[in-house]
């Protein structure tokens, strides 16, 4: 008998967004999804989605999940969030997006203790540079040890990039992958994470302003 299980609903990486808001509504979609503000759309296949949008600050999320893992998109209007999005130094813009939006609101939110960046590099996506991260978030996987009841750490691939005045963070996480990476001697499959998050990006479109 397997020593691990997957709970029916993922724990997820609920977006904090520094707002006093609920985790968002959950619904079933046929595969096509469009953000309420029209700034991104994607085709992820039939799945469940938990989404939230705050028109006051033009910021939101869409988390696509099943028992096996989650893909998600988080976004914020950089102008409203006082994030640089159109400077001549794209590396500095991405660093600011990571430090002031991606880490505190998505990848290491309040209540997520010990989140750690395991890998970081700049990669090209859509003809522009993006910041690719692999982050370890303790206790956040949907998979857990059946004996102890303790959830595994989630190994999350994240892609941070800027389109027009918007900062986007795409994430990808696999429950089974978390189980495999919890085994002694396992190696972080950077190439697999890179390919996975890039394929997710390719299912999305980001209309220009």
pLDDT at residue number 97: 94
pLDDT at residue number 63: 92
Q: Which CATH superfamily is domain 4-205 in?
A: Mog1/PsbP, alpha/beta/alpha sandwich (3.40.1000.10)
pLDDT over 70 at 110, yes or no: no
Distance (Å, whole) CA 10 – CA 2: 19
Q: For residue range 175-209, list pLDDT tens digits in order.
A: 899 999 989 999 999 999 999 999 999 999 998 75
pLDDT at residue number 112: 63
pLDDT at residue number 18: 35
Taking the CA of residue 189 as centre, how many other CA atoms within 13 Å lie in the half-sphere pointing to its CB?
Answer: 13
pLDDT over 70 at 90, yes or no: yes
Q: For residue range 46-86, list pLDDT tens digits in order.
A: 889 999 999 999 999 999 988 888 999 999 999 888 888 87
Q: So where are the chain's domains?
A: 4-205
pLDDT over 90 at 144, yes or no: no
Q: For residue range 150-184, list pLDDT tens digits in order.
A: 888 899 999 999 998 999 999 999 989 999 998 99
> Which residues are paired to 152 by β-bridges?
none
pLDDT over 80 at 12, yes or no: no
Q: How far is CA 176 from CA 35, 86, 154, 198, in A?
A: 29, 39, 10, 19
pLDDT at residue number 46: 85
pLDDT at residue number 209: 53
Q: Are 175 and 141 in contact (CB under 8 A)?
A: yes
89 band by pLDDT with thresholds 50, 70 and 90: confident
Q: How far is CA 99 from CA 64, 106, 143, 170, in A?
A: 24, 11, 28, 15
Distance (Å, whole) CA 71 – CA 64: 5
- Give the DSSP letter string of the chain: --SEEE-SS-------TTS---S-EEEEESSEEE-TTSS-EEE--SEEEEEEEETTTTEEEEEEEETTEEEEEEEEETTTTT---S-S-HHHHHHHHIIIIIIIIIIS-TT-TT-EEEEEEEEEETTEEEEEEEEEETT--SEEETTT-PBPPEEEEEEEEEETTEEEEEEEEEHHHHHHHTSTT----HHHHHHHHHHHHHTEE----
Distance (Å, whole) CA 209 – CA 200: 22
pLDDT at residue number 187: 94
Q: Are 54 and 71 in contact (CB under 8 A)?
A: no
Of the two residues 17 and 110, the one the predictor is more confident about is 110
pLDDT at residue number 1: 38
| pLDDT (mean) for 15-43 | 73
Of the two residues 6 and 183, the one the predictor is more confident about is 183
pLDDT at residue number 198: 96
- φ, ψ (nearest 5 deg) of residue 208: -70, 160
pLDDT at residue number 3: 56
Of the two residues 5 and 61, the one the predictor is more confident about is 61
């Amino acid at each position: 008998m397997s020593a691990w299980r997957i709970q029916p609903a993922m724990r997820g990486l609920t977006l904090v967004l520094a707002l006093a808001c609920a985790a968002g509504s959950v619904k079933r979609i046929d595969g096509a999804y469009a953000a309420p503000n029209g700034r991104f759309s994607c085709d992820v296949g039939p799945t469940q989605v938990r989404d939230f949008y705050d028109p006051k600050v033009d910021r939101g999320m869409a988390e696509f999940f099943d028992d096996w893992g989650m893909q998600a998109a988080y976004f914020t209007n950089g102008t409203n969030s006082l994030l640089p999005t159109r400077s001549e130094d794209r590396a500095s813009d991405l660093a600011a997006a990571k430090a002031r939006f991606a880490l505190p609101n998505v990848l290491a939110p309040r209540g997520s203790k010990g989140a750690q960046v395991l890998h970081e590099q700049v990669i090209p996506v859509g003809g522009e540079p993006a910041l690719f991260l692999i982050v370890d978030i303790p206790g956040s996987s949907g998979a857990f040890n059946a004996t102890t009841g303790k959830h595994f750490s989630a190994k999350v691939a994240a892609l941070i990039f800027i389109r027009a005045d918007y900062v986007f963070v795409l994430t990808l996480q696999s429950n089974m992958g978390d189980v495999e990476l919890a085994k002694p001697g396992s190696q972080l499959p950077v190439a697999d994470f890179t390919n996975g998050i890039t394929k997710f990006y390719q299912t999305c479109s980001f209309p220009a302003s």
